[in-house]
C-alpha cells in the first residue's frame, strides 16, 4: 500500500521558516494537500493541488511537490501556527501522512 512519510515533530522559533516534508515514491506525479489541525479542533485545509492556498489562508503558507517529496513551508512562523500538519494524496484511495507536530518556541 502507498505510504506518505512525515517527520513526527519539528520545532522552530517565531519568525523563522518551517519546512515540513512528505515523502513517497513518485509523489511528484500526484496532487498533494496539506491540513492544519490545532488541538481539539477539526483539520483545516491550508494547501491543495500542491501549491494553491484556499481563501483565508495566510500568504506565509506555501507548498511545493517534486520527485518523491512534497513540502509545506511556513514563512515567518507565528505562535498561532503551532499545530499538527498532515499531507494527503490519492493512490487508489485517499492516503494521509502520519502527521508532523509543529512547535513554535
Partner 1 sequence: QVQLVQSGAEVKKPGASVKVSCKASGYTFTSFDINWVRQASGQGLEWMGWMNAYSGDTGYEQKFQGRVTMTRNTSIGTAYMELSSLRSEDTAVYYCVRDLSYSSSWKVFDYWGQGTLVTVSS
Which parts of this chain interact with partner 1 (CB under 8 A)? 30-31, 33, 35, 42-45, 48-49, 54, 86, 88-90, 93-99
CB of 61 to partner 1, least distance (A): 15
Do the beta carbons of residue 53 and residue 73 sit within 8 Å?
A: no
* Nearest to partner 1 of 8, 79 (CB atom): 8
Q: Residue 10 and residue 20: Cα distance in Å, rounded?
A: 8
* Nearest to partner 1 of 13, 55 (CB atom): 55
Q: Residue 38 and residue 12: Cα distance in Å, rounded?
A: 17
Amino acid at each position: 500500500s502507498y505510504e506518505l512519510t512525515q517527520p513526527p515533530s519539528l520545532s522552530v522559533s517565531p519568525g523563522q521558516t518551517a519546512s515540513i516534508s512528505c515523502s513517497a515514491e513518485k509523489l511528484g506525479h500526484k496532487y498533494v494537500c496539506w491540513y492544519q489541525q490545532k488541538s481539539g479542533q477539526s483539520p483545516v485545509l491550508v494547501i491543495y493541488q500542491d501549491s494553491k492556498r484556499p481563501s483565508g489562508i495566510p500568504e506565509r503558507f506555501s507548498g511545493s511537490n517534486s520527485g518523491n517529496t512534497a513540502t509545506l513551508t511556513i514563512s515567518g512562523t507565528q505562535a498561532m501556527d503551532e499545530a499538527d500538519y498532515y499531507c494527503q494524496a490519492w493512490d487508489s484511495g485517499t492516503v494521509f501522512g502520519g502527521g508532523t507536530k509543529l512547535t513554535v518556541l
